[in-house]
Amino acid sequence: MEKQATINLEQQFQDRVDQDIRIEPKDWMPEKYRQTLIRQISQHAHSEIVGMLPEGNWITRAPSLRRKATLIAKVQDEAGHGLYLYSAAETLGISRAEMIDQLHTGKAKYSSIFNYPTLTWADIGAIGWLVDGAAIMNQVPLCRTSYGPYARAMVRICKEESFHQRQGFEILLTLSRGTEAQKAMCQDAINRWWWPSIMMFGPADDASPHTAQSMKWKIKRFTNDELRQKFVDICAEQVKILGMELPDPELKWNAERGHYDFGKINWEEFWQVISGNGPCNKERIAARVKAHEEGAWVREAAISFANKRAQKQRPAVA
């Protein structure tokens, strides 16, 4: 394509985005937009799928039938979220097999939070409250993202997420009103999940060079730091209902800013976990690869069965 023509197309594309007209799969889009979206949506999908592992870990040991049923339902929802998102990414021209392969070979990333272990039952509560809470904070603005299939997937996901956060908070609330040991367990889980949760919003704005372009394309609607601040403000209030504390001595209401100030994030830890050195990175990928490989015969058998049946239904040629 001639250069001038491309510039015109790009201008038309940006005009549509500026007017909040959604971009759909068959529409022209800049190659960089397509690539950025594939990366963002597939990472998001991988996070939903890998995110099932730390919680799945506690399904057999949930303390009651009620807790077990809700935890199964939540984990099943996360599988659904992964599937909505994989489908959305596929509309951009990448195959499911390719995405799965990128995850299994470590080429694709997923949210670093899922590389932390779930040591006690209270962790399931803390994940629901903080991890799903941070995810919701990230995802609600994405319901208005510029790419149609992504936005529609996010609408469905957001509808389902709110029970996730509420069931988590309920678990912590119950523990916070329990025995001394239960209270201690509750506080310990909050202590371990707080910092990784606020890292979920990604690097600080001055360390995320692509934010400006993504905001211009409306595949991101707020900056990392804006969302993080919003999340801190909300959690600093909610934790009072639990009678617990967030593990940050510098957390303090700043009347001038109208926000909570909070301590420095350990970005060194964040980059370590992202680059594969978190507590559970290897276990998580190993679990995914194992599930995929052990399911191979099922996938093959289903295809053979479908082919055989199709053959039988085809009218015999004379």
Partner 1 sequence: MKTFIQIQRYGDYGDREPVKAEGATQNQADWPLWEVFIRSKMGLDHKHVGSLHAADAQMAIENARDVYTRRQEGISIWVVESKYIHASNPDEAASFYDPANDKVYRHPTFYDLPDELKAM
Question: Is 77 or 248 the residue whose CB approaches partner 1 more closely?
Answer: 77
Residue 64's binding partner, choosing from partner 1, Fe ion, none, with beta-carbon cut-off 5 to 8 A by kind?
Answer: none
Q: Which of 44, 46, 81, 218 binds Fe ion (CB under 5 A)?
A: 81
Q: Give the closest residue to 266 by CA, choosing from 194, 212, 180.
A: 194
Instruction: Residue 283: name its binding partner from Fe ion, partner 1, none (Cβ under 5 to 8 Å by kind).
Output: partner 1
Q: Are strands 259-261 and 252-254 parallel, antiparallel or unpaired?
A: antiparallel
253 sits in the region (left: phi over 0; alpha: psi -120 to 50; else beta) called beta
Choose the contact partner of 164 out of Fe ion, partner 1, none; CB within 5 to 8 A by kind: Fe ion
- Kindly list the distances between the CA atom of residue 15 and the CA atoms of 10, 101, 146, 216, 309, in Å, as whole numbers in the listed order: 9, 36, 12, 11, 50
Centre a 10 Å sphere on the Cβ of residue 156 and count the other Cβ atoms it contains: 13
Q: For the chain, what is the radius of gyration of the CA atoms?
A: 22
* Tokens 């804006």, located at residue: 226
Residues of span 295-314 touching partner 1 by CB under 8 A: 296, 299, 302-303, 305-306, 309-310
Q: Number of residues interacting with partner 1: please give it, by CB under 8 A.
A: 55
Which one among 129, 132, 229, 248 touches Fe ion, defined by CB under 5 A?
132
| Binding map of partner 1 across residues 27-66, x = CB under 8 A, - = no contact | xx------------------------x--xxxxxx-----
Interface residue list for partner 1 (CB under 8 A): 24, 26-28, 53, 56-61, 73, 76-77, 80, 83-84, 87, 90, 95-97, 100-101, 104-105, 117, 119, 152-153, 156, 160, 272, 277-280, 282-283, 285-287, 289-293, 296, 299, 302-303, 305-306, 309-310
